[in-house]
Structures are given as structure tokens and as C-alpha cells.
Structure 1
Amino acid sequence: RGGYRGNSDRRDDRRGGYNGDRRDGGRDDRRGGYRGNNDRRGDDRRGGNRGYRGNSRDDNGMRPDGRRRDHHNGPQRSGYRENRVNDRSNEPEIPADISPKELDPAIRQELRSLSKDNADKVAGHLIMAASLMDEDSAKALAHARAAKERGGRVSITRETLGIAAYHAGEWKEALTELRAARRMAGGPGLLAVMADCERGLNHPDKAIELGTSEEAAELDPEQRAELAIVIAGAHHDLKQMDDALLVLEPETAASDLPEVTALRVTYAYADALALTGRTDDARSWFTKASKLDVHGVLDADDRLAELSE
């Protein structure tokens, strides 16, 4: 059944998957990369497509101990330079009208550890990866891989590749890159995406472990609710229907959620009720979801019709 899944058949019929999309038509002037919480828009090539961003990034290539990272001493294995030349010759083209200045200033600051020419190329690939995320996940992934190949020691390139791989259904690659981004940048973000990747790899138990980790307690309200939706889905995978309800119940009473996130929680809770056989309660919550859904992104009305048959 559909629900609020973004562009996706990427979860087949798994309920409770993380969704990085906001469909409320909101816009602001921050551009490029993956910033903010769950705030991606697909209609702005200049980085309007955004998702989770971790916290406490180390800018200008500085280590936590104050020493500068060395971005020039790459692996010296045989054929390394030749392979890099080949990779760059095969990387996707960046349209001529894409300017690095369109990238979010904070992300441009992170790229200052790279040479100017290389930083501009990485910026172009990040912008293209963000803009193509919904319409062509394969091309977005290609641009994200190119950004990482050119700037793999800058955390935003690893995070962008992780999100792009997630949208393309490349769960293992997504987890690898998101873990790398978290090691480099710190902070509790990205847990919901990582947990959903674990579900994609048929590891719902590992998804649940992320939901009970110490870092989960550090999430802001929106990230916390998104993680709860994913963890509820993991319990559904394990046929633990009552546990799914218990995970979602605190979020249904939360007063600190953005409207779109509250909408997703309402729908997820209605779905969880339906799966436990509590049909009357499910109808009540699908009705609430329908009333909250002012932009028509959910299939709550269809679900209500199904439950009335």
C-alpha cells in the first residue's frame, strides 16, 4: 500500500520506511548538498533537494585536535593515479550553467580544503546530485560518486553519496558512506536513513538497535519521529505488531513536530493499528491523517475505503 513514501518502489511493500521528502511546497534560499532535517524539495536544481545533515562538522579540513588534515597523500597502490584519471574521465558532465556559487555557503566552506578547481567540480557534482535525486536516482548517484572520488575526505561528499545511494536502493553502499560521514562529522543525525538501509538489507533487528542507541536520544523532534516511523516498520518486518504501536504512540502525542512529520506519524500509527486488527481505531486515525493531508500526498482516503469493505 502506498502512503507517504516519496518516489518509491524502493521499499517494495515495507511499511514505515524513512522518507526524506517534504511535499508541503516549502522553499527557502539555502542551496546545495544535504542540510537541515528531512527537508528535500525536488523542483530546484540549485540544491533544493535536501535531507539529513549531521552535526558538528569539522570545517577547513581541521582535525578535532586542531591539526590540519592532509588531503594530498592518497593511497599509493599500483595503478592508483591511472585509475583516478580514468574515473574522472568517465564522470558525468556538469552543465555549463551550473555555478559553484549556487551551493550552500556552509558547504562551500567545507570544500575549501580542496584546490579551487577541484572544489568547483565537487560543488557542481553535489548540486547535480541534489537536483536529480527524485527524477533520476541513477544519475544523481553517478554525480554523488564523482563528488566523493574528488573529495572523499570532506564529510559532505560522503553524506551526499550515502543519501544518493539510499534513494537508488543501494543499501550497502549507502550504509558505508553514511557511517563514514558520521565518523568524520559527528552528531546524531542520519540514524533514520541508516536504520531504513538496515531494513533494506533485511536486518530489521539492527535497525531496532539503532533506534535504542544512546545517539537516538540526541535527535531533534523531527529526526526522532522519523526514526520512530522506521523502527516501527522494522517491528512490522519481525511481525511484532504491538511493539510497533508502542514505538509510535509517544510521537502521536508529541506537540513539537512539524506539520508534515506529524502527518507521517498519524498515517504510520493508523497503518500499525490496521495491522493489529484494530479496524475501528485504524479508521479513526486514517480519518485524522486525511484531514491533516492538505496537499494530498497520502492515500489515507483509499485506506479508509479498504477498511470499510
Structure 2
Amino acid sequence: MAEDRRGQRPSRGGSSAGRGGSAGGGSRGRGSRDDQPRGRGSREDQPRGKGGASRTGGYQGGGKAGAGKPGARTGGKPTGGGKPTGGKRPNTSAQRAFRPRAEERDRTDEQRVYDGPDLPEDITGAELDRGVRAQLKGLPEKLAARVARHLAAAGTFIDENPELAYQHALAARARASRIAVVREAAGEAAYAAGHYAEALAELRAAKRMNGATDYLPIMADCHRALGNPEQAIKLAKSPSVANFASEAKAEMTLVEAGARRDMGQLDAALRTLELAPLTSKSRSAWVVRLRYAYADTLEAAGRESDALAWFHRTHAIDSDELTDAAERADQLERRQS
């Protein structure tokens, strides 16, 4: 079952594809008490392509052989003085050509992925960050423009309709699978849609291509969602994490603490969070989420008085109401009264 932990899951906003309109997003929404891996879809593996969007991309090939009907019969009497054929039509090679072969039927699904969903007319690709567009310059002009539009569409829909965003990212990947930023966008959209195995594969591919480590928190959270908390902790201990910016470090701390909780190690989860800058004067979303996770873990450990204090400290800086810290504090106060 997919549990809601929107106050703890990694933000998608730190990587290059996440800036300027590709498949990145901001920080997550309101938190809840369950510190478990979650996505915007179900945690269990599900078949791809859940969305119902139509696919009408500009590529016109790949259809079944012979779009029309086979030639019509000429009537009840044979022409040319021949004998009737007993109502049976000759099985000519021309007629057999209209029967799609198995491999042609297989190509149809691939073609739908290639075509992708409809592209809104107001999405031009200019919405992308300049650095993202630069990575597409090695493609032919028309192909680059199409890939850019699908990437921009993925970024547009990733919060309101992550499955649709994922289908746009797949269309971009089908056209430009050797470009790191495309694989990154596919990975981030897959993660948002709850396709954790696919997200992990795409982000691994992007990392092989460009050596970037920005994806590590999301990759670690994918391991959690797939039931591999040990692998998540292993990534959290990567040497490159020490060089992360404050927000990225916080993301990895959240994942590591969550993985410890997955393994029933509440004390270790608390120690992990206590090493983070919980008392930072910043009111940034990552500080809000760290404090919320700490309060939530304190409550899970049975330290309700401490949890109440930290829910209040979370609410004090949560001006955007990213979490339900105020509600959680109110519940604890009623329980203790």
C-alpha cells in the first residue's frame, strides 16, 4: 500500500531537468504522520501507460499495412466468362498484404509511445532552461524542437497529472535516448508518477552519461519504495553527499531517516535527523520538512512531549502550510489533556 509522506519525500527541484520547465518540480505538499515511501501513484508495480491521453504526435509512420478495405467483389456473376468460384474469394497475395503481421502489431504500442500525448499549442519548448536547450542542439532542428516541447510539457504537467507528464517524457526519450537531460526528465517524471523501478533505471542512465550526483536522493527514495532500505542508506553514505548544498543534504537526510524507520531503527532515525540543521533560522521548505520529520519520528518513538514541541516549531516557520504540523500538534495536545 502506498503511504502518504509528502512532508518527507525528496524534492525534484535540484537537478538540471527540473529547472525552467522540464520534468522537475518544487517541494512536496502537506505532510502526514506516516514516514513511508510514497509517490503520486501506487507503490506496487503497475503497468505503464495508465493515462488515457490520446497519442497524435507528428510522426506518421508505423500504421498497419493498407489503410483501406480490400477490393470489393464485382457482383453475383463472374466477369470474363469464367465459372463461378462457389462464393469463395481467391486468397491472393494482395489480399494477404492487408493482414498485419505480428511484428507490425508490436510496433503499434511502440509507435504510440513515440508519438506521445497531444502537445498543447501554447507549449513551444522555449519554456526550458537555457542549459537544457543547449543539450538538445546536437539533434536535427525539427527533432530538437519536438523533444523540447515534450520535455516542457512534462514539466508543465508533473504536479497536476504526473502520469501524463511521464508519457511526454517517454516520447522525448523515444526520440533522444542518448541525451542525459532527457533520461533525467524521464526518471523524475517516472518518480512523480510512482513508477519507481523505471525512475531508478532512468536516473542511473543519466548518471552514467553525465556523472551528476544530483539524482542520489531520488534514487535512494526509489530504493525505499521498492523495499530496499539498505540500498537507500548505502547511497546516503556516498562521499559526494558531503559536497551537496544544504537543500540536497536535507533531502538525503530525510531519505536516510525514513530508511532507518523502514527497518524499525527509530533511535538511528532520530540520530540521523539530529545531525541535520534543525535549528536553522532559515524558513526554507527543506528546514520545514526536516523539523516535521523529526517531530513525526519523536512521536513514533513515544516521546510525545518532545514531538509536540517540534510540531509547534515546525508550524512556526511553515508559512506556506507545506505540512499539517498545526493539526498534529492539536491532536497531541487533546490527547495529553
TM-score scaled by structure 2?
0.69
Q: Secondary structure at the match of 2:306?
A: helix
Q: How large is the RMSD of aligned CA atoms in angstroms? A: 2.7
Whichever residue aligns with residue 219 of structure 1, its letter is F
Aligned equivalent of 1:190, options 194, 199, 215: 215
- 1:161 maps to which residue? 186
Partner Cα distance (2:6, 2:145) in 1: 40
Q: Is the 8 A contact 1:126 1:143 kept in 2?
A: yes
- 1:32 maps to which residue? 21
Partner Cα distance (2:4, 2:110) in 1: 41
Q: Secondary structure at the match of 2:136?
A: helix
- 1:19 maps to which residue? 10
Q: Is the 8 A contact 2:7 2:322 kept in 1?
A: no
Query: Relative to 1, partners in 2 of residues 1:177 and 1:97: Cα closer, same or farther, differing over 3 Å?
Result: same
Deviation at 1:166, TM superposition (A): 0.4
Answer 1 or 2: which has greater helix percent.
Answer: 1
Aligned equivalent of 1:303, options 298, 306, 328: 328
Query: Relative to 1, partners in 2 of residues 1:257 and 1:170: Cα closer, same or farther, differing over 3 Å?
Result: farther
What fraction of aligned residue pairs are identical, expressed as a percent?
39
Partner Cα distance (1:241, 1:113) in 2: 50
Is the radius of gyration larger for structure 1 or structure 2? Answer: 2
Partner Cα distance (1:259, 1:85) in 2: 43
- 1:56 maps to which residue? none
Aligned equivalent of 1:177, options 202, 219, 239: 202
Aligned length: 255
1:143-158 paired onto structure 2 within 5 Å? 143-158=168-183
Aligned equivalent of 2:232, options 197, 201, 207: 207
Partner Cα distance (2:254, 2:305) in 1: 21
Deviation at 1:84, TM superposition (A): 9.6
- 1:223 maps to which residue? 248
- 1:135 maps to which residue? 160
Does residue 1:102 correspond to 2:133, yes or no?
Answer: no
Q: Is the 8 A contact 2:23 2:155 kept in 1?
A: yes
| Residue deviations 1:129-187 (CA, integer Å, cap 9, x gap) | 01101111111110000011111111111000101000111010000001111111112
Partner Cα distance (1:147, 1:133) in 2: 15
1:226-241 paired onto structure 2 within 5 Å? 226-241=251-266
TM-score scaled by structure 1?
0.75
- Gaps (5+ residues) in structure 1? 1-9, 23-29, 43-77
- Gaps (5+ residues) in structure 2? 14-18, 30-102
